[in-house]
Amino acid sequence: MSGSDQFHLLGVIGWPVMHSRSPLMHNYWMEQQGLTGTYIPLAIKPGTLEDALRGMHPLRFSGCNVTIPHKMEAMEIVDEVNDVARKIGAISCIVINEDGSLFGTNNDWLGFLGNLKHQQPDWRADAGPATVIGGGGGSRAVCYALQHEGAPEIRLVNRTHEKALAIAEEFGAPIKVIDWEERHDALEGAATVVNTTSQGMVGETALDIKLDNLSADALVADIIYTPLETPFLAAARERGNATVNGLGMLIHQGPPAWKRWFGLEPKVTDELRDIMEKSILNG
Ligand code: ATR
């Protein structure tokens, strides 16, 4: 369908999903870009993903984002997956083509990099080793981003060792798997440290890691955005380290999605960040 009478329908598929700030962000951009439409949370239970995705074309959706716990399963359902998503092993964004076929890609890695480059312009992945904590879908996107940017070594630490080993096998050098028990020492000499576990999120216990060996000049990032500052980030900031929270990663994966859906690049503005921060602070 084309023409100015089109109502653009998009959404984020997750379970749970009502905490997501994606609708707030995409609806802000709808207004910024002068499009008529809406972006809604789609609470899709595990086990019903395929029916939900196949129903989007008859409902005239243009596309959607995919979040926990559907990112890996969605990859098996869509009709086409690009190389980046295949390498990462998860999709975060789907385009619904005119003929009803589904195209999947992953923009999380672009969000992670875009945010770091925006918040810390002097940061360079090749400045030294990186330590990534966690081995889920978020970790895979972060590892891909760091590898893409030339991190000389990526120390991967995950509670479930096998998941980290699988990432190392798929990604190859420079991933080095380190035992969960050794996580405190894995910070030594790291130029970039990233938490990709769910530890520290609202309702979860804090990430259990000692920062004694953290270099003063290491950049410390968390992909969590609720709360805006996890206990892990707060501890790093109190030691004097530069820190970056996960909100910008969410914001910066948005424009590449818009490019896929509409061929448009919405602007990441301070106003948008303020609106999102306020929404998170107000619960
Ligand atoms: P996402 O797609 O957002 O990365 P995920 O795939 O569910 O979400 O990954 C969650 C990550 O948090 C995993 O690395 C998980 O560790 P396991 O692979 O061992 O499950 C990590 N995680 C969750 N709870 C944890 C805990 N209590 N202690 C340490 N790590 C934990």
Mutate which of 142, 198, 208 for ligand 1 pocket (most atoms within 8 A of beta carbon):
198
- State the Cα–Cα distance between residues 34 and 8, nearest whole angstrom: 11
In sequence order, the 6+-apart residues with CB closer than 8 A to the CB of 229 are 237, 243, 245
The half-sphere exposure of 138 on its side-chain side, counting CA atoms within 13 A, is 22
- As given in the structure block, the two tokens for residue 131 are 């330590």
Ligand 1 neighbour 160 (Cβ under 6 A): yes
The string of pLDDT tens digits covering residues 5-15 is 689 999 999 99
Region of residue 229 (left: phi > 0; alpha: psi -120 to 50; beta: else): beta
Domains of the chain: 8-106 (3.40.50.10860), 109-248 (3.40.50.720)
- State the Cα–Cα distance between residues 13 and 259, nearest whole angstrom: 19
Nearest CA, atom 8, ligand 1:
136
Distance 137 CA to ligand 1 centre (A): 9
Nearest CA, atom 12, ligand 1:
197
Please pick, among 71, 87, 259, 278, the residue that the annotation labels catalytic: 71
- Atom in ligand 1 nearest the alpha carbon of residue 164: 18
- As given in the structure block, the two tokens for residue 55 are 């129903």
- Residue owning tokens 């020492």: 185
The string of pLDDT tens digits covering residues 157-179 is 999 999 999 999 999 999 999 99
Q: Is residue 71 annotated as part of the catalytic site, yes or no?
A: yes
Residue 62, exposed/middle/buried by CB under 10 A (0-12, 13-18, 19+)? buried
pLDDT at residue 283, as a whole number: 85
DSSP-derived secondary structure letter, 205: P
**What does the H/E/C string look like for 40-75?**
EEEECCCCCHHHHHHCCCCCCEEEEEECCCCHHHHH
The string of pLDDT tens digits covering residues 106-157 is 999 999 999 999 999 999 999 999 999 999 999 999 999 999 999 999 999 9
Nearest CA, atom 31, ligand 1:
197
Distance 238 CA to ligand 1 centre (A): 25
Distance 40 CA to ligand 1 centre (A): 26
Look up the pTM and report it: 0.95
- State the Cα–Cα distance between residues 123 and 37, nearest whole angstrom: 37
- Atom in ligand 1 nearest the alpha carbon of residue 159: 19
Q: Decide: 38 and 30 in contact? Cβ < 8 Å.
A: yes
